A and B are shown apart, each in its own frame.
Chain A
Amino acid sequence: MAAISRDEVAHLARLSRLAVTEQELDTFAGQLDVILQAVARVGEVTAADIPPTSHSVPLTNVLREDVVINCLTREEALAGAPDVQDDRFRVPRILDEEA
């Protein structure tokens, strides 16, 4: 049985903000199925009482002195932007016309 369906992959693509093509969906569905079946092997390990590790370095909060340092200028920060207007990042509309 497949671990993941084509419809599920289409849903993942939407969640991931990837406008994949129909052909890509066919390819990715098959490939992700193979990968998921392989990685599902982690389920063979008995680990109910084992704490998870998110990070290899034992970390508590890392704080530093609250001192002002040089940061990017507005020009530097905007230099790589695809579109700039009035010294700001310009983005496509985020609300519908009627909203």
Chain B
Amino acid sequence: MTDLTKLTAAELAGTIASGDVSAEEVTRAHLDRISAVDGKVHAFLHVDADGALAAARAVDAKRAKKEQLGPLAGVPIAVKDVLTTRGVPTTAGSKILEGWRPPYDSTVVERLRDAGTVILGKTNMDEFAMGSSTEYSAYGPTNNPWDLGRIPGGSGGGSAAAVAAYEAPLAIGTDTGGSIRQPGAVTGTVGAKPTYGGTSRYGLIAFSSSLDTPGPCARTVLDAALLHEVMAGHDWRDSTSIPQPVPPVVEAARRGMSGDLTGVKLGLVTEFDAGDGAEPGVMAAFHEALAALTKLGAEIVEVSAPHFQYALPAYYLIAPSECSSNLARFDGVRFGLRVGDDGNRSLEEVMSLTREAGFGPEVKRRIMLGTYALSSGYYDAYYGQAQKVRTLITQDFNQAFEQVDVLVSPTTPFVAFPFGSRTSDPYQMYLADLFTIPTNLYGGPGISVPCGLSDGLPVGFQIMAPTMADDRMYRVAAALESAVGTLTPPSLEG
């Protein structure tokens, strides 16, 4: 019998729609897989078996009545624990929200339900999406299915690992500085950050509101595109949502699968290609992929983006500044933890004790860093200057896209690193997002697609496109996938 967990989302949707297998059988197969391997991987913070089976049976009932099914009806999916799910625990990886059950669904989750996908549960993440390894989760790290002693990337390491370990064919991530793409790269999966404003932030627990972007995680480019189309589109409840049609990403992925890139110009960012800080094995795999794309007809053009080198410093001023403001809502009053309320302490004391107990070290660092960057006397030199650098980075992108269709780079400078190797010096952790951050500051889309191995560990290839031209990156990503194939991690059994 076919192992249902090894099928792609596209295959599962097809086989469920045709009636060869029920949605309930597909869901049970994935729940069984989670039971079998998640003790080792720890991708999930919460598995909602009852909710998943109910959703699957609803799809089967609709099919029995010959009602129209959504494009991903019956396909199981895992959701990063930063998106609210009505009645289902949502912690954002933080102790401060332990046990909280949101009274409403995020727009992304609502659209998943409307499309008939089956939500299996909530995935692990660095606390409030701040980190590149899941080591900052308050609930313990997720282990990379490729090597359980190594990080799965972050912040969305749980979503990427769940997909890599065949616990779910699809997952939702959120990308503020690389939190979908970097986990995709180090787990050998596909992760896409849509154009900012292309997917709704309503119900996404805010970290950095001008950067946060929900997006798809999958094992194939086509699956990512199918999920992208289901979750994207204008939402009146998010005032930064773009009121335009979703770019034709599925059509682009199918076109790319033909393996023809004749006439497509790929921009190689010279400042990134210097190999600055990137492992030689990562650069080697990246250049092999470039050669493969050339064989498909693509043309490589060197472009300069002189301000990209300032993206990381600018990001670590802008994101913490927004975080320090956003996380003020965790005050021990309306939801979550409250500590020290003994009847004698003041509100301010209780608030400080609650936040001290509820937040982990990285969140505290970023709140304080942001508070510093926004304080009078430092505002112009730090936050204000970072916003100007953001303008210059955007100009770099705009000028580059006058010459080329997409930009390409490795997704992250290094393959999955061992646990504990970058936690003592927080800035070393920040470097994981060196190549992904410029896209977030610009607001355009980016995708990571597996392009090979370095020392037996996956390497990701990043494709960046102009805003609302998400389809372009899917086309190139699908073409690359057709040339180099997908990656299969070692078996987790035994």
The residues of B that contact A83 with a CB separation of less than 8 Å are 338, 341
Interface string of A18-61 (1 = CB under 8 A from B): 11100010011001101110111111110100111111110100
Enumerate B298-350 residues with CB–CB distance to A below 8 Å: 307, 310, 312-314, 316-317, 324, 328, 331-338, 341, 343, 345-350
**Shortest beta-carbon distance from B316 to chain A in Å:** 5
Instruction: Among A9, A27, A47, find the residue whose CB has the most chain B CB atoms closer than 10 A.
Output: A47
Given A19-B353, A80-B335, A82-B336, the answer on whether A47 and B103 have CB atoms closer than 8 Å is no
**Shortest beta-carbon distance from B100 to chain A in Å:** 5
Q: Are the C-beta atoms of A42 and B347 separated by less than 8 Å?
A: no
Given A92-B347, A93-B347, A94-B346, the answer on whether A80 and B372 have CB atoms closer than 8 Å is no
Number of residues in A with C-beta < 8 Å to the partner?
A: 54
Indicate if A15 sits at the interface (CB-CB under 8 A). yes
Q: Are the C-beta atoms of A47 and B392 separated by less than 8 Å?
A: yes
B313, B335, B338, B352: the one within 8 Å of A39 (CB):
B313
The residues of B that contact A16 with a CB separation of less than 8 Å are 324, 355, 364, 367-368, 371
The residues of B that contact A32 with a CB separation of less than 8 Å are 365, 368-369, 372
Q: Are the C-beta atoms of B103 and A77 separated by less than 8 Å?
A: yes
The residues of A that contact B335 with a CB separation of less than 8 Å are 80-82
The residues of A that contact B372 with a CB separation of less than 8 Å are 4, 8, 12, 32, 36
The residues of A that contact B186 with a CB separation of less than 8 Å are none
Q: Quick check: which of B221-229, B286-294, B380-388 contacts chain A, the rest being far away?
A: B380-388
The residues of A that contact B390 with a CB separation of less than 8 Å are 52-53
Given A31-B365, A56-B442, the answer on whether A81 and B382 have CB atoms closer than 8 Å is no
Secondary structure at the A interface, as helix, strand, loop or mixed, is: loop
Chain A residue nearest in CB terms to B317: A39
Given A17-B352, A31-B426, A83-B341, the answer on whether A42 and B368 have CB atoms closer than 8 Å is no
Q: Are the C-beta atoms of A20 and B364 separated by less than 8 Å?
A: yes
Q: Quick check: which of B235-243, B252-260, B264-272 contacts chain A, the rest being far away?
A: B235-243
Chain A residue nearest in CB terms to B363: A18
Q: Are the C-beta atoms of B197 and A82 separated by less than 8 Å?
A: no
Q: Are the C-beta atoms of A19 and B356 separated by less than 8 Å?
A: yes
Q: Are the C-beta atoms of A43 and B351 separated by less than 8 Å?
A: no
Interface string of B415-430 (1 = CB under 8 A from A): 0000000000111001
Q: Are the C-beta atoms of B427 and A35 separated by less than 8 Å?
A: yes
Q: Are the C-beta atoms of A81 and B210 separated by less than 8 Å?
A: no
**Shortest beta-carbon distance from A6 to chain B in Å:** 12
The residues of A that contact B356 with a CB separation of less than 8 Å are 18-20
Indicate if B187 sits at the interface (CB-CB under 8 A). no
The residues of B that contact A28 with a CB separation of less than 8 Å are 361, 364-365, 368
Given A50-B391, A56-B442, the answer on whether A45 and B355 have CB atoms closer than 8 Å is no
Q: Are the C-beta atoms of A56 and B364 separated by less than 8 Å?
A: no
How far is A13 from B245 in the complex, measured between Cα atoms in Å?
44
Given A32-B369, A35-B427, A42-B314, the answer on whether A54 and B347 have CB atoms closer than 8 Å is no
The residues of B that contact A57 with a CB separation of less than 8 Å are 196-197, 240, 242, 443
Enumerate A68-99 residues with CB–CB distance to B below 8 Å: 72, 76-77, 79-83, 89, 91-94, 96
Indicate if B33 sits at the interface (CB-CB under 8 A). no
**Shortest beta-carbon distance from A71 to chain B in Å:** 9
A-B contact pairs, 24 of them (CB 8 A): A12-B372, A16-B368, A18-B356, A20-B356, A28-B365, A31-B365, A32-B365, A35-B430, A39-B314, A43-B381, A47-B389, A51-B388, A52-B384, A53-B390, A53-B394, A53-B441, A56-B210, A59-B239, A80-B103, A82-B333, A89-B333, A89-B334, A91-B333, A92-B346
| The 6 nearest A-B residue pairs measured at CB | A56-B443, A52-B387, A82-B338, A80-B335, A47-B388, A76-B103
